[in-house]
Amino acid sequence: MMRRLAAGALAVGTALALTAAPASAHTSLTSASPAKDAAVAAPSQIVLTYADPVRLPRVVVMDASKKQYQSGPAKAVDNKVTQAVGGALPNGEYTVGWRVVSSDGHPVEGTYTFTVKGSSATAQDPAPASSPAAAPAAGKSSGSSGWLWIGLIVLVIALAAGAVAWLRRSSAAKG
């Protein structure tokens, strides 16, 4: 009796698994490092492992004040996504937000948290240099050097105008 029940349950389970197969073709996160809810020393990278190969990964590592710590783009190799972390993470709770495209073309996303403890870094440390926000900042600095040149040219013109005015005035005084 029990064996027949077990066999029946197995058959039903197999049938469900087969019919569910197309729907579950999009992948899921199977493990992460640091792991979900883990309390760890400051990690230098986040490694996410999926059930299937993934593409176009995007990973954000954020502290409680929404400051971001990921450094550079996430890399996907087969079913593993690696995201470097810029600088040492101060103690506290972090949220990892991730988004990947699974092999069936569906985007999959999720979040989880982990905690850093025993870190010597303080919350006042500057943000990692190579966060995506650094790119517009670099553009801005070249823009400000452009303004510096314009400022210099204006200054030269002003000096020249002043010199001309001074020469005119001194020649008028003579005449």
Interface ranges with Cu ion (CB under 5 A): 25-26, 104, 106
Nearer to Cu ion by Cβ, of 12 and 25: the residue is 25
Nearer to Cu ion, 34 or 57 (CB): 57
Provide the minimum distance between the beta carbon of 101 and Cu ion in the complex, in angstroms, as a whole number.
Answer: 10
Q: How far is the CB of 96 from Cu ion (least distance, A)?
A: 22
Choice between 76 and 116, CB closer to Cu ion: 76
Nearer to Cu ion, 26 or 34 (CB): 26
Comparing every residue's Cβ against Cu ion, the nearest one is 26
CA distances from 128 to 19, 61, 94, 148 (A): 47, 11, 15, 27
Q: Measured from the CB atom, is 106 or 168 closer to Cu ion?
A: 106
> Do 71 and 130 contact (CB within 8 A), yes or no?
yes
Q: How far is the CB of 109 from Cu ion (least distance, A)?
A: 12
C-beta separation of 72 from 149 below 8 A: no
Beta pairing class for 92-102 and 107-116: antiparallel
Min dist. Cβ of residue 79 to Cu ion (A)? 15
Is the distance from CB of 127 to CB of 85 less than 8 angstroms? no
Full DSSP string of 46-76:
EEEEESS-EEEEEEEEEETT--B-B-S--EE
Beta carbon of residue 53, minimum distance to Cu ion (angstroms, whole number): 13
Q: Are 79 and 49 in contact (CB under 8 A)?
A: yes
The partner residues of 33 in beta bridges, in order of sequence, read: 47
